[in-house]
Chains A and B, each alone.
Chain A
Amino acid sequence: RKEVEQDPGPFNVPEGATVAFNCTYSNSASQSFFWYRQDCRKEPKLLMSVYSSGNEDGRFTAQLNRASQYISLLIRDSKLSDSATYLCAVNERGGSNYKLTFGKGTLLTVNP
C-alpha cells in the first residue's frame, strides 16, 4: 500500500461548483498534514495545514479523520483561478521526524 494516496482525478468542474479531494495515509502515527497547490511549471505552495478540529480559510475547508486515516479538502464556489494540481502531504513518521511524504496530486480544472 502506498504511504499517501490521493484521488486520481482529473477533476473538471464548472465555475461556482463545490469540489472535494480526499487523501489517505498509511501511518497511523502521522502527526502533521498539509494541502499544497501547484500551478503548472511552478513550485508547490502551501495552501493549508490540516488540524485535528478541521480548519477553514475562506472558500477552503480542510478536515482530518484520524480513525479512517484520511484528510480532505473542500473548495466551495470554485473560481477559474483555482485550476491547479492539489497535493496532500503527510509527516509520515510523526514526532520529531520532519519528512513529508506527498501524494501524486489531483489536477483540478475549473471551466467557465
Chain B
Amino acid sequence: SAVISQKPSRDICQRGTSLTIQCQVDSQVTMMFWYRQQPGQSLTLIATANQGSEATYESGFVIDKFPISRPNLTFSTLTVSNMSPEDSSIYLCSVGIGALSYEQYFGPGTRLTVT
C-alpha cells in the first residue's frame, strides 16, 4: 500500500467560498482519484486525476465546480468552488496500487461543512 495524507482534515466554510484539498502520497502512483461520501451514503467517484492532463469527470460532476490539479505522480488537489450547504461531505482521495492499479487505497478524508 501507500501512505496517503490529506489537508485539511476538516473545515467549516461559508457558502460562496472555495476550498482546496490537498492529497499527498509517499510514492509515485499512476492513478489518483477523488471521491465524495455524503452522510450515511457510499462513496461516489468525482473524477480521475490525470498527471499532465485534464481530469476525467464522472457524470454529474464538472470542472468548473470541482477543478482538479495533478502536477506530478505524488500530489493532487481538488477544489470545491462556490460552495453551498449541499457540498457538505467527506472528500477522499485514493490511489491505485498494484500491477494493474486496480486496488485502491484511500487517504484519511477531508470533512467539509458548509454553512
| A99 and B42 contacting across the interface, CB-CB below 8 Å | no
Question: Which residues of B in the span 90-104 have a Cβ within 8 Å of any Cβ on A?
Answer: 92, 96, 100-104
Question: Which residues of B in the span 71-98 have a Cβ within 8 Å of any Cβ on A?
Answer: 92, 96
| B103 and A49 contacting across the interface, CB-CB below 8 Å | yes
Of chain B, the residue at the smallest CB distance from A103 is B42
How many whole Å from B12's CB to the nearest CB in chain A? Answer: 16
Specify which of B48, B92, B108, B111 is in contact with A98 (CB 8 Å cutoff). Answer: B48
B-chain residues with CB within 8 Å of residue A89 when the two chains form the complex: 104
| A45 and B106 contacting across the interface, CB-CB below 8 Å | yes
Question: Which residues of B in the span 21-78 have a Cβ within 8 Å of any Cβ on A?
Answer: 31, 33, 41-43, 45, 48, 58
- Decide yes or no whether A42 CB sits under 8 A from chain B: yes
Q: Taking chain A's interface residues, is the majority helix, strand, or loop, or is none over half, making it mixed?
A: loop
Of chain B, the residue at the smallest CB distance from A105 is B42
Q: Interface residues of B toward A: which range?
A: 20 to 34
| B42 and A104 contacting across the interface, CB-CB below 8 Å | yes
A-chain residues with CB within 8 Å of residue B100 when the two chains form the complex: 32, 96
CA A96 to CA B107, docked complex, whole Å: 23
| A46 and B92 contacting across the interface, CB-CB below 8 Å | no
A-chain residues with CB within 8 Å of residue B104 when the two chains form the complex: 34, 46, 89, 98, 100
Of chain B, the residue at the smallest CB distance from A87 is B42
A-B contact pairs, 26 of them (CB 8 A): A31-B102, A34-B104, A43-B92, A43-B106, A43-B107, A43-B109, A44-B43, A44-B92, A45-B105, A45-B106, A46-B1, A46-B104, A49-B102, A87-B42, A87-B43, A89-B104, A91-B102, A98-B31, A98-B101, A98-B102, A99-B45, A100-B45, A100-B104, A102-B42, A104-B41, A104-B42
A interface with B by C-beta (< 8 Å): 31-32, 34, 41-46, 49, 87, 89, 91, 96, 98-105
B interface with A by C-beta (< 8 Å): 1, 31, 33, 41-43, 45, 48, 58, 92, 96, 100-109, 111
The 7 closest A-B pairs by CB, nearest first: A43-B106, A32-B102, A104-B42, A102-B42, A102-B43, A43-B109, A43-B108
